[in-house]
Structure 1
Amino acid sequence: MFAPAWVKDAIFYQIFPDRFCRSERYHAVGKFVEWGSKPTRENMFGGNLAGIEDKLEYIAGLGVNAIYLCPIFKSNSNHRYHTVDYFEIDPVLGTLEDFDRLVKKAHKLKIRVILDGVFNHCSRGFFQFNSLMELGPNSPYVDWFHVKGWPLNAYSGKPNYECWWNFPALPKFNTDCPDVREYLFSVGEYWMKRGIDGWRLDVPNEIDDDSFWQEFRRRVKAVNPDAYIVGEIWDDPLRWLKGDLFDGVMNYVFRKAVMQFLFDENPIDVAEFCERVRGAFVEGRGDIPMNLLGSHDTTRLGSQPRTSIERIKLAYALLFFMPGAPCIYYGEELSMKGGKDPDNRRSVPWENLGEMQKKPMYEFIRQMVDMRKKNSVLRDGSLDIRCEDNRLVVERRGKGVSMTLTVDVETFAGDLPFTIETKKI
């Protein structure tokens, strides 16, 4: 196995920092919307690193032992995928000291921390791109980007430089430039040396260059051989999982199968679901995927077309039965709702925490976490998923034991009861 061994035992919790928690221990300069406001693409709530630190005991109380933070570097967007400086913490979030304290406390609680690396593109406010806007072709950084004409149309008209999805705010790096490569590799090294446990890589397929990711992997692993490198790949991940690029991918193939099986208005049948899931997991390949049901890019489970508490519970039961590392999107345990971006990025209503913890999902997710931790077969066992007498059967088999999740397919018109059985073999 080329992926770090600890990941198979990991249970991740994804945090969108601006909306998770705003601690009064840190006061950012500026004006922020009231906590609980309706999220938009532009408004800032002022969540901060001190707030995340304050809630680490809450996260640990779920049984979670790893967190994945959406970008935390200096940026002028609430999601921070518009990076201005990769070596600075966004001042809305806090300071380097706040970051160091957060990582130290997380590790004390045996919680690992991975960061979001946005290395395909940056912000118009990124120093080197700003130099191009000021100096034009005379900028010393003219080779850092893909420029097609001068002056740059960065704020009006059609952008005359390559950018992510043609958004002028997101100029694309020229990763063929040695200086760009060295800069981005040094970012990967710097934060590893500050104590993080790995990287989640944003749209890595858009840097269509294996040598770039091979060198990124070499540099990161040289700092910490146990670093987890996971790529945001939405389709067939095989290219990225040969041992020289990523340790795993965000398993959107699995997520899509679950969504189309349980929540779509025109669902796939159980046979196709089994086939899709088999394709999402290849035994013996050496990778460890990050399995998910939701993220900052997807509609929450509670706002899906055919949602119900029974379907959500079944989705989570399937998640925790799969090989790899399950990942919980913040607030799912509190039955938070949210449609398409940006509605899926609401702030956590901590003032109503007690009431929300009484809802069924909070205790259910804790039970699923506990079940996975207590049963090594769910982390190490083989996977068999099949349709058997109008039942969906998911079986994990290990040394002397098997665990089986069984769903009565005939009841799909209403509730979705399932059973979990453990037996010696």
Structure 2
Amino acid sequence: MVATPDWVKKAVFYQIFPDRFAIGHHQAIAVAQQPKLEPWETPLTVQGYKGGNLWGVIEQLDYLQELGITALYLTPIFQSACNHRYHTHDYYQVDPLLGGNEALQALLTAVHEREMKVVLDGVFNHASRGFYFFNDILENGPHSPWLDWFYIEDWPLSAYDGSLPANYRGWVDLRALPQFNHDNPDVREYLMRVGEYWIAQGIDGWRLDVPDCVKAEGFWAEFRRRVKAINPEAYIVGEIWCDASPWLGGDQFDGVMNYRFTEPTVAFTIGDRLQKEHLRGEEYRPYPALNADAYGEKISQLLQRHPWEIQLTQLNLLNSHDTARLLTLANGDRPSVNLALLLMFTFPGAPCVYYGDEVGLAGGADPDCRRVFPAKTDWDLDCWEFYRQLIALRHRYQCLQLGDYKILVTAGMGYAFQRQYGDETLIIAVNAGDNVTEISLSPEILDLDKIERIESIFTTDSQIEIQQTPSVLSVTMPPQSGKIFRFGHQE
């Protein structure tokens, strides 16, 4: 039987890129002078540091709780020579610019006091040129005792001069990211112990970077066993962009970053408004535009692909630090973005908010999608309130956390589905098109003897009209609108 963490099924995640979220007032690093940082308000540079840190995250916990967030996913925080910290220098030291190990322990204490959770980013496929074991190879060449930790192909190594062969294997041929030899038992054990160490220190799970690139047999199954032996409720979620079935049989990951949900949802709600110039790479293709029938087919296939316990702990998202922000992809069209949000917060699995989305932060492809969190004077307060209401509904109704997902109607651009858990039932209706549409629901579709009194609990458009008789429920929906309603007898 597949077992997944119960807390994830009820969680609402918030993804933080630490350098860009908040600067805390606590002294961030133990040095006499302050490091030179880019001013917070100036445009981003690829290599510059803005100075966000974990003390800043701690100071924003009140804000996050008010929004309804219950779990944090932090992109890498370990010592590194880059602002995104996917170039790990030391897996046992939190980067000094982020506040060091002291700041992480303070964050864990503060988060757990609020009954929230923290998931860290585990970059275990590759390290960096500054990682001690690889740096020893750069210094000592073939005399280094750590040669078998990496894929050394020839000499001399050229770690920085692109005009010469690198002579070692880097992730996607990047010299800055030497790839581990996971078939080496010492490498394997080292990484397992890193995973165990931070779980023992109190983190609540790992988000695993490019885990499909780790080819060593049984690696992630062993990682799961060892992590779960310390904390059975630890969350293990992988960054898998393709079909994740090989990793979601219950013996490796609890879920993945669910881009297979993101793609059809964006294609349905944004459609031909999609600004393709902000897309990069072939792994993420939220196009061509879909009608309701095609969207329903893709969602049905996705829900049939993995065990239900896994579906409930998928990490659902609409954008991330690796993609353009949805508002920019939609060319600023807020109604279509709102529909995508409505579909995400009512879908099985844990919804994940990328920092700043909730206040209307825009951004194109990396690095533009990693802008600093804006000052309150620049917030879109209507956007913030929309997020807050959807998150509150997610927490209020168990059927949105645990309930079955049943597609009721797919007609043109009109889409309706049901979430049901016990005697709690919600109906979600969406019109993603540019014209008025009518969605009709009969007792047969709803599996009822007759249509009962309907109560609206959320709407994106006050012009949505409901006409109800014992034999039909008819919802007239303006363009780009959505509604959630329930049977009136429920409490």
- Per-residue CA deviations over 1:151-187 (Å, capped at 9, x if unaligned) read 1111112321111111100000000001101110111
Displacement of 1:302:
1.4
Contact 2:293 2:410 in 1 (8 A): no
Aligned to 1:112: 117
- Correspondence 1:71-150 to 2 at 5 A: 71-150=76-155
Contact 1:36 1:348 in 2 (8 A): no
The RMSD of aligned alpha carbons is 1.7
Aligned to 2:233: 226
Contact 2:249 2:307 in 1 (8 A): no
Contact 1:264 1:306 in 2 (8 A): no
CA distance in 2, matches of 1:204, 1:85: 19
Aligned residues: 422
Aligned to 1:341: 366
Aligned to 1:289: 314
Match of 2:213 among 206, 213, 217: 206
> Are the structure 2 counterparts of residues 174 and 184 from structure 1 closer, same or farther at C-alpha, using a change threshold of 3 Å?
same
What amino acid maps onto 1:400 in structure 2? D
Aligned to 2:483: 419
SS at structure 2 position matched to 1:215: helix
CA distance in 2, matches of 1:95, 1:388: 52
Where do 5+ consecutive residues of structure 1 fail to align? Answer: none
Displacement of 1:316:
0.7
SS at structure 2 position matched to 1:281: helix
Contact 1:133 1:151 in 2 (8 A): no
Aligned to 1:48: 53
Aligned to 1:33: 38
Aligned to 1:267: 289
Alignment identity in percent?
43
Contact 2:79 2:96 in 1 (8 A): yes
CA distance in 2, matches of 1:307, 1:237: 31
- Per-residue CA deviations over 1:42-68 (Å, capped at 9, x if unaligned) read 111011110011101111111110000
CA distance in 2, matches of 1:290, 1:81: 20
TM-score by length of 1: 0.96
Which range moved further: 142-151 or 384-393? 384-393
Match of 1:404 among 420, 424, 427: 427
Displacement of 1:353:
1.3
What amino acid maps onto 2:209 in structure 1? D
Which range moved further: 273-282 or 113-122? 273-282
User: Over alpha carbons, which structure has the higher Rg?
Assistant: 2
Aligned to 1:362: 384
Contact 2:296 2:410 in 1 (8 A): no
Contact 1:333 1:365 in 2 (8 A): yes
- Correspondence 1:314-333 to 2 at 5 A: 314-333=339-358
Match of 2:246 among 214, 217, 239: 239
What amino acid maps onto 2:54 in structure 1? L
Aligned to 2:6: 5
What amino acid maps onto 1:420 in structure 2? I
Aligned to 1:178: 185
CA distance in 1, matches of 2:347, 2:116: 21
CA distance in 1, matches of 2:344, 2:433: 21
SS at structure 2 position matched to 1:92: helix
Which range moved further: 302-311 or 107-116? 302-311
- Per-residue CA deviations over 1:281-332 (Å, capped at 9, x if unaligned) read 2374421200001110011111014541111111111001100100000001
Which range moved further: 140-149 or 158-167? 158-167
Which range moved further: 340-349 or 380-389? 380-389
- Per-residue CA deviations over 1:206-226 (Å, capped at 9, x if unaligned) read 002341111111111111111
Displacement of 1:24:
2.7
- Per-residue CA deviations over 1:99-130 (Å, capped at 9, x if unaligned) read 10111001111110000000000110000001
Are 1:62 and 2:67 an aligned pair?
A: yes
CA distance in 1, matches of 2:330, 2:424: 37
Contact 2:292 2:410 in 1 (8 A): no
What amino acid maps onto 2:37 in structure 1? F
Contact 1:36 1:346 in 2 (8 A): no
CA distance in 2, matches of 1:218, 1:421: 42
CA distance in 2, matches of 1:213, 1:6: 22
CA distance in 2, matches of 1:12, 1:177: 35
TM-score by length of 2: 0.83
